[in-house]
């Protein structure tokens, strides 16, 4: 695949970005397009490896290894190298309904499993994927493809995130009449309100795909909370099958019993991100219907993409300081011996929000900071939230952790370092601690069984719940995960739903 000697001749090259100092002044995407000649070289780096782990999505040590939707990566890398962009787009759409989403926000487990990445920088798979689909839209190759006929079967999809949209697209493609129910005022779920605009543009990218799906015949019903505005019994009467794709929207609150948790200024991350994006789309933040970090000391507790998004959003508001706490130790700069290829590489890296914070603030002069060019503090635990006499947050009290010395008395894999307590000023604190499952209303009304992790009980590959004709896909079934896994599950649930309705299915 690609040029046989390309991986020897060409170095890895990624798109340029606007400087952190400039991009925090707006909410626009900040990656620059690469010239076609450079992209061809990047496609040429794809080796004729013979064992392309990049597209054999699986879980190793509970982390994605390779592409969960089994993208035909070596094939479209080769086509890009040869300049066959239209054919590359066709290959891409065979496995992925929404490459413009994954090409922007997926962490790219495919690159972590690239064979070239064993001892060299991996192929720039994510950027090539994004460029293929963007070029497809620019050239007018991506057009509505309504089904040639209808089956007469009606399916309700509950939730319009990546799993729900993937299920809807697949079911519609074989002629079923699909209605997608979304309780928010816009379609997209996590894609619309959970990911900030600078990572995924809502109008130019998300709404563009939603409009396309509507022209293909999918019915979108917003401002409709299933279980409240329409009951489960009504759903069963109106539809032949139901696909649950509600997401895992109940946030973890590991600080529920921590002193000061009730103080004003402490918010779950998704409350912050959702309200900001909605206000941005409604009025360019003019309505004030969002949690503003302007001129405030901000602490984000929890790492991962959501924590980074809270950092990036706070910086664009104009916060006066920013710290990000992670309870785990800092990752090594290179793979550890217990993290071999093709596992996801657990290595230290800066995401966009960390780069922006380091560009704005001088952490080398901040009392208590151990990383001079990074807003993150590792191996640190929040002990108490401190307030003023009006019930507002004023500081966060922390303790340092030693992960090399487990505490056998408390049965924790770490011990607290004596004398390491300190206070960090904060008027806003965002909790980015993950999610513990879907909300119960819909499942309880439908009589769905839940698994021990509080998710809808349905096996991967079958996606069938205990209620005939009701299927579950995405985070509500597997727990909080990647967008690409949600697309995988939405496609799989659509296949099994189609099989239930028609007795067989030709869906992949």
For 322-358, the pLDDT digits (tens) are 999 999 999 999 999 999 999 999 999 999 999 999 9
Task: Give CA torsion, residues 215, 217, 223, 225, to 10 deg.
Answer: -150
The burial of 314, by beta-carbon neighbours within 10 Å (0-12 exposed, 13-18 middle, 19 or more buried), is given as: buried
For 438-449, the pLDDT digits (tens) are 999 999 999 999
For 204-227, the pLDDT digits (tens) are 999 999 999 999 999 999 999 999
pLDDT at 123: 96
pLDDT at 162: 98
Domains and their CATH numbers in the chain: 6-138 (1.10.1060.10), 154-249+436-502 (3.50.50.60), 266-431 (3.50.50.60)
pLDDT at 436: 92
Percent share of the chain, pLDDT over 70: 100
Over residues 22-37, mean pLDDT: 94
For 134-193, the pLDDT digits (tens) are 999 999 999 999 999 999 999 999 999 999 999 999 999 999 999 999 999 999 999 999
Beta strands of 28-161 (E only): which ranges? Answer: 58-60, 63-65, 154-158
pLDDT at 62: 80
Task: Give CA torsion, residues 434, 436, 439, 445, to 10 deg.
Answer: 160
pLDDT at 156: 98
Residue 50: which pLDDT band, with cuts at 50, 70 and 90?
Answer: confident
Question: Is 57's pLDDT higher than 90?
Answer: no
Residue 63: which pLDDT band, with cuts at 50, 70 and 90?
Answer: confident
- Read off the pTM: 0.95
pLDDT at 20: 96
What would the 3-class secondary structure string for 206-260 be? HHHHHHHHHHCCCEEECCCCECCCECHHHHHHHCCEEEECCCCCCECCCCCCCCC
Residue 504: which pLDDT band, with cuts at 50, 70 and 90?
Answer: very high
pLDDT at 328: 96
Q: What b/e sequence results for 79-92 when a residue is b if at least 16 CB atoms lie within 10 Å of its CB, and e otherwise? A: bbbeeebeebbbbb
Strands 154-158 and 177-181: parallel
Report the distance separating Cα 11 and Cα 116, nearest Å.
11
Nearest one of 282, 70, 302, 98 to 193, comparing CA atoms: 282
pLDDT at 64: 80
Question: Is 1's pLDDT higher than 70?
Answer: no
For 409-422, the pLDDT digits (tens) are 999 999 999 999 99
């Amino acid at each position: 695949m690609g040029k046989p000697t390309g991986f020897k001749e060409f170095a890895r090259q990624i798109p340029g970005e606007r400087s952190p100092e400039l991009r925090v002044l707006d909410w626009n995407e900040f990656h620059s397009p690469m010239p076609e000649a450079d992209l061809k070289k990047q496609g040429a780096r794809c080796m004729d490896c013979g064992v392309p782990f990049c597209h054999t999505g699986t879980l190793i040590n509970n982390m994605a290894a390779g592409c969960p939707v089994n993208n035909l990566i070596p094939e479209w890398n080769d086509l890009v190298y040869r300049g066959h962009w239209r054919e590359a787009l066709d290959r891409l759409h065979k496995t992925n309904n929404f490459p413009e989403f994954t090409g922007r926000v997926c962490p790219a487990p495919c690159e972590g499993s690239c064979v070239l990445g064993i001892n060299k920088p991996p192929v720039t798979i994510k950027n090539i994927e994004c460029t293929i689909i963007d070029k497809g839209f620019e050239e007018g190759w991506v057009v509505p493809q309504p089904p040639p006929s209808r089956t007469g079967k009606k399916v309700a999809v509950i939730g319009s995130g990546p799993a729900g949209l993937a299920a809807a697209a697949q079911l519609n493609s074989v002629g079923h009449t699909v209605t997608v129910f979304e309780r928010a005022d816009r379609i997209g779920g996590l894609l619309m309100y959970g990911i900030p605009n600078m990572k995924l543009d809502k109008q130019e990218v998300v709404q563009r795909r939603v409009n396309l799906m509507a022209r293909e015949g999918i019915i979108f019903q917003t401002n409709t909370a299933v279980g409240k505005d329409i009951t489960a019994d009504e759903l069963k009467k109106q539809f032949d099958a139901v696909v649950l794709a509600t997401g895992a929207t109940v946030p973890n609150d590991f600080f529920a019993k921590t002193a000061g948790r009730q103080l004003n200024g402490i918010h779950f991350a998704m409350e912050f991100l959702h309200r900001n994006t909605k206000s941005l789309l409604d009025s360019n933040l003019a309505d004030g219907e969002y949690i503003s970090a302007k001129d405030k000391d901000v602490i984000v507790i929890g790492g991962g993409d959501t924590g980074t998004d809270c950092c990036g959003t706070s910086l664009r508001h104009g916060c006066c300081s920013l710290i990000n706490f992670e309870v785990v130790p800092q990752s090594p700069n290179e793979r550890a011996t217990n993290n071999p290829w093709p596992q996801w590489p657990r290595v230290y890296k800066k995401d966009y929000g960390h780069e922006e914070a380091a560009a704005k603030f001088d952490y080398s002069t901040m009392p208590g900071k151990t990383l001079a060019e990074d807003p993150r503090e590792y191996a640190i635990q929040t002990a108490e939230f401190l307030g003023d006499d009006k019930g507002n947050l004023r500081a966060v009290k922390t303790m340092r952790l030693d992960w090399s010395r487990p505490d056998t008395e408390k049965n924790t894999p770490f011990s607290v370092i004596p004398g390491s307590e300190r206070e960090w000023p904060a008027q806003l604190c965002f909790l980015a601690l993950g999610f513990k499952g879907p909300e119960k209303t819909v499942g309880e009304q439908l009589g769905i069984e839940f698994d021990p992790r509080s998710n809808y009980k349905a096996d991967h590959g079958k996606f069938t719940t205990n209620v005939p004709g009701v299927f579950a896909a995405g985070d509500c079934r597997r727990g909080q995960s990647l967008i690409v896994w949600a697309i995988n599950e939405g496609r799989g649930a659509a296949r099994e739903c189609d099989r239930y309705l028609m007795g067989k299915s030709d869906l992949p």
